[in-house]
Amino acid sequence: YKRQRWKGAHVTGTASAANADFVRSAGAETVVDYTTTAVEKAVHDMDLVFDTVGAKTA
């Protein structure tokens, strides 16, 4: 994520509460806890989404 932030992007990551600090340390400015929050309702107005899971439910 740090490269994207260097280029001016706002980076939002998803993780459980147990892994939120790791995602922040990788460069995410905002972390959505997908175990307690519907991600599609928590994020909006994004120009690009990079999905590394690729599941049908994603």
**Beta-carbon count within 10 A of 28 CB:** 21
Confidence of residue 3 (pLDDT cuts 50, 70, 90): low
Residue ranges in 1-58 assigned as alpha helix (H): 2-6, 20-25, 39-42
Q: Is the pTM of this model over 0.85?
A: no
**Beta-carbon count within 10 A of 42 CB:** 14
CA distance 12 to 31: 6
pLDDT at 42: 85
- Reported as a single tens digit per residue, the pLDDT across 8-53 is 778 888 999 999 999 899 888 889 999 999 888 888 888 877 777 7
